[in-house]
């Protein structure tokens, strides 16, 4: 009888066969894979639940000659449910909240924009979630109506404007520009935007000398999503596609093909009408390289990774049971979270490397552990076509390849090329989260004895601390990094806090060479020097309980000059800005 795998059976098989296969010399633990690892520390929703992690963890403890630091497990029955949100044991922030460190002579002063989920204010959900604070931690402004968190991905424009996703899950949906008072200025409809967007005039949406996004014209770059695949029984209008990136029938022929949520990148004009995109790119078209000039994502060549995809466990928050095939259970197979233009850089202007054309697009995909650069135009000598992936970091970071020089990147966020007007210009900055992500083998060489398939799993890589990496894109070597893998004392401030966020987060290189870092899980934002001294640190004091709604998606610094004195005036002291009355 043909065997039907289930989550339980596949886990049982993995556990009972690990010890047998690990006898081979080539299955020794890789130092990058296991450094600081505790399999139980992986989360959140969309990843396998705590109890399954614990089973894998215990089996690997017996099978592999390594120590996995297995103490201090969180409680799996803490009220979140079997498939609920498993918080990392390090996702806490001890001590007082609010302004925690401030060394004015060493910081780069300005306002800091917080993309929070909950803003200060009355009620369960508080006030508007996009908040502006000064260097002393005082709340200067909140934008009425703006979308917060990863759905809103709010970007501030010079003059007090804000652009964010609105109308979808946690924001998302349409891109909406509002003025200082919350009035709608411009709407770009039908993008299903999520996690990131840019406006012409600024390559990556954050302040840099010589860059300022246009407030009244220009094209925009949008990261959106589209549901793909035949699923008539679900009664959902999906884009038809005959390519099944997730082929769950490989494991159970009676199971319907599972639709995917596919990332789409669009470059759109100011007069966007829903159909006149200047450029459109779909991630699913590059699962298998689209042509000889396309590097693809690097999964199609990896049998273990394809096996992991076909299990159908990455549902992006809707639960990972095989029975979940309805409208709320599409495979979030790639999970893009950042998109930006490269902008002017020395690799193109000085060395004429076409991979780094200023209009090319850099994007990263959390589920895949992959960061790519996408060609905006055809190569002048025919080496690639517009839309081809011409540079890639990941998904494989083994020491036998060039990507191994940066170590294992896991579930990364906010990858972009540092503008050439600040220190590090031309290098790529990446927030390397850790936690769990990636498709592929938990143990290299593990195969199904019945079919010979190379066994893979989602997620297959784990680490319980974060890193901020500055990488030379030519050599793929680390130029600078910030990491605090082990706390040095019980003090939670600065470098004594275990730096770790398994979800969201980001980093911005500042004008003076400092780096502003968002540790999303704890709601912590801090500024470090090139020498890695923490010179400013803040955690919202209107959030005390932590948890998902206590996090900050991203934060970034803008100069004081972006907010005029006129916008800040309240002459009659009624708590309202005069300009808004």
What is the predicted pLDDT for the residue at 572? Answer: 73
Calculate what percentage of the chain has a pLDDT beyond 90.
52
**Most confident region among 102-106, 319-323, 520-524 by mean pLDDT:** 102-106
State how far Cα 216 lies from the chain centre: 29
Q: What is the pLDDT of residues 435-491, one digit of tens each?
A: 778 898 876 776 776 778 887 877 788 777 899 999 999 999 999 999 987 777 778
State how far Cα 513 lies from the chain centre: 23
Comparison of pLDDT for 1 and 435, the residue scoring more:
435
What is the predicted pLDDT for the residue at 575? Answer: 76
CA nearest 88: which of 410, 534, 311?
410
What contacts 333, CB < 8 A, 6 or more positions away? 245, 246, 260, 261, 262, 283, 309, 314, 367
State how far the Cα of 397 lies from the Cα of 57, in Å rounded to an integer: 22
Report the DSSP pairing between strands 515-519 and 260-268. Answer: unpaired
Query: Quick check: helix, strand or coil at residue 284?
Result: helix
What is the predicted pLDDT for the residue at 243? Answer: 58
Label residue 91 by pLDDT band (50, 70, 90): low
DSSP conformation letters of 14-74: HHHHHHHHTTSGGGSPPHHHHTT--GGG--SBTBPPHHHHHHHHHHHHHHSSS-----SPP
In a domain, 180, yes or no: yes
Strand partners, 369: none
Backbone angles phi, psi at 349, to 5 degrees: -70, -35
pLDDT averaged over the chain?
80
The single-letter DSSP state of residue 381 is T
Q: What is the pLDDT of residues 351-369, one digit of tens each?
A: 999 999 999 999 999 999 9
Q: Is the separation of the CB atoms in 142 and 125 below 8 Å?
A: no
Q: Is the separation of the CB atoms in 150 and 133 below 8 Å?
A: no
Q: What is the pLDDT of residues 201-235, one digit of tens each?
A: 999 999 999 999 999 999 999 999 987 875 534 44
In the predicted structure, residue 14 carries a pLDDT above the cut 80: no
Q: Supply the range of the domain harboring residue 448.
A: 7-580
State how far the Cα of 579 lies from the Cα of 569, in Å rounded to an integer: 8
Structure tokens given for 9: 């059976």
In a domain, 134, yes or no: yes
What is the predicted pLDDT for the residue at 549? Answer: 75
CA nearest 535: which of 517, 551, 520?
517
Q: What is the pLDDT of residues 510-567, one digit of tens each?
A: 999 999 999 998 899 999 999 999 999 999 988 765 566 778 999 999 999 999 999 9
State how far the Cα of 485 lies from the Cα of 497, in Å rounded to an integer: 9
Q: Is the separation of the CB atoms in 338 and 363 below 8 Å?
A: yes
State how far the Cα of 144 lies from the Cα of 119, in Å rounded to an integer: 11
Which residue stretches of 421-544 are H helix?
Answer: none
State how far the Cα of 499 lies from the Cα of 514, in Å rounded to an integer: 17
In the predicted structure, residue 321 carries a pLDDT above the cut 90: no
Q: What is the pLDDT of residues 385-421, one digit of tens each?
A: 999 999 999 998 877 778 888 988 999 999 999 999 9
Q: Identify the weakest region by mean pLDDT among 195-199, 313-317, 520-524, 536-540.
A: 313-317
The single-letter DSSP state of residue 209 is T
pTM for this model (two decimals)? 0.85
Q: What is the pLDDT of residues 290-308, one digit of tens each?
A: 999 999 999 998 999 998 8
Q: String of b and e for 274-305 (b: at least 16 CB within 10 Å)?
A: eeebebebbbbbbbebbeebbbbbbbeebbbb
Q: Is the separation of the CB atoms in 113 and 508 below 8 Å?
A: no
In the predicted structure, residue 336 carries a pLDDT above the cut 80: yes
Q: Mean pLDDT over residues 38-63, rounded?
A: 44
Q: Is the separation of the CB atoms in 426 and 418 below 8 Å?
A: yes
CA-CA distances (angstroms) from residue 347 to 119, 383, 402, 476, 513? Answer: 41, 18, 19, 13, 20
CA-CA distances (angstroms) from residue 192 to 232, 253, 357, 365, 407? Answer: 22, 32, 27, 17, 34
What is the predicted pLDDT for the residue at 67? Answer: 30
User: CB neighbours (10 Å) of residue 523?
Assistant: 29
Q: Is the separation of the CB atoms in 248 and 312 below 8 Å?
A: yes
Strand partners, 229: none
Structure tokens given for 190: 């039908």
State how far the Cα of 237 lies from the Cα of 229, in Å rounded to an integer: 10
CA nearest 194: which of 167, 223, 166, 216?
223
In a domain, 1, yes or no: no
Comparison of pLDDT for 461 and 270, the residue scoring more:
270
In a domain, 89, yes or no: yes
Q: Is the separation of the CB atoms in 194 and 165 below 8 Å?
A: yes
In a domain, 2, yes or no: no
What is the predicted pLDDT for the residue at 35? Answer: 32
In the predicted structure, residue 25 carries a pLDDT above the cut 50: no
Split into its structural domains, the chain has a count of 1
Label residue 184 by pLDDT band (50, 70, 90): very high
């Amino acid at each position: 009888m043909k065997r039907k795998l289930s989550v339980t059976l596949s886990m049982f098989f993995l556990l009972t066969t690990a010890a047998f296969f690990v006898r081979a010399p080539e299955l020794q633990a890789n130092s990058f894979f296991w450094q600081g690892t505790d399999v139980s520390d992986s989360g959140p929703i969309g990843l396998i639940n705590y109890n399954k992690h614990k089973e894998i963890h215990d089996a690997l403890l017996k099978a592999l000659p390594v120590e996995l630091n297995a103490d201090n497990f969180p409680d799996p029955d803490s009220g979140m449910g079997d498939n609920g949100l498993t918080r990392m044991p390090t996702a806490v922030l001890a001590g007082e909240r609010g302004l925690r460190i401030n060394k004015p002579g060493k910081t780069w002063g300005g306002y800091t924009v917080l993309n929070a989920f909950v803003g200060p204010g009355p009620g369960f959900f508080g006030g508007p979630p996009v908040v502006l604070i000064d260097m002393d931690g005082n709340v200067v402004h909140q934008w009425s109506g703006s979308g917060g968190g990863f759905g809103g991905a709010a970007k501030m424009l010079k003059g007090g404007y804000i652009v964010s996703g609105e109308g979808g899950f946690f924001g998302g949906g349409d891109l909406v520009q509002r003025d200082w008072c919350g009035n709608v200025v411009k709407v770009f409809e039908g993008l299903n935007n999520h996690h990131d967007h840019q406006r012409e005039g600024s390559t990556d949406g954050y302040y840099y000398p010589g860059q300022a996004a246009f407030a009244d014209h220009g094209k925009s770059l949008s990261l959106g999503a589209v549901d793909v695949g035949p699923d008539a029984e679900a009664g959902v209008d999906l884009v038809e596609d005959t390519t099944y990136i997730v082929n769950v029938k490989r494991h159970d022929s009676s199971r319907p093909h599972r639709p995917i949520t596919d990332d789409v990148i669009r470059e759109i004009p100011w007069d966007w009408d829903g159909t006149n995109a200047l450029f459109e790119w779909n991630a699913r078209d590059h699962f298998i390289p689209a042509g000889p000039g396309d590097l693809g994502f690097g999964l199609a060549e990896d049998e273990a990774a394809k096996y992991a995809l076909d299990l159908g466990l990455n549902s992006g928050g809707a639960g990972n049971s095989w029975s979940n095939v309805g409208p709320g259970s599409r495979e979030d197979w790639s999970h893009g979270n950042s998109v930006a233009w490269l902008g002017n850089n020395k690799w193109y202007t000085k060395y004429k490397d076409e991979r780094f054309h200023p209009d090319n697009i850099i994007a990263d995909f959390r589920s895949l552990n992959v960061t790519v650069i996408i060609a905006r135009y055809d190569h002048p000598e025919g080496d690639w076509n517009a839309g081809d992936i011409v540079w890639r970091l990941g998904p494989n970071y083994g020491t036998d390849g060039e990507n191994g020089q940066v170590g294992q990147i896991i579930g990364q966020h906010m990858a972009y090329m540092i503008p050439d007007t600040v220190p590090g210009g031309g290098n790529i900055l990446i927030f390397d989260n850790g936690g769990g992500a990636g498709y592929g083998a938990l143990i290299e060489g593990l195969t199904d004895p019945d079919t010979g398939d190379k066994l893979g799993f989602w997620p297959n890589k784990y680490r319980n601390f974060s890193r901020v990496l500055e990488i030379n894109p030519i050599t793929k070597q680390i130029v600078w990094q910030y990491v605090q893998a082990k706390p040095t004392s019980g003090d939670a401030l600065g470098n004594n806090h275990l730096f770790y966020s398994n979800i969201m987060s980001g980093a911005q290189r500042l004008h003076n060479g400092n780096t502003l870092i968002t540790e999303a899980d704890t709601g912590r934002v801090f500024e470090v020097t090139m020498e890695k001294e923490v010179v400013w640190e803040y955690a919202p004091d209107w959030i005390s309980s932590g948890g998902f709604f206590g996090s900050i998606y991203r934060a970034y610094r803008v100069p004081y000059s972006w907010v005029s004195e006129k916008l800040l005036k309240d002459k009659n002291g009624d708590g309202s800005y005069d300009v808004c009355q």
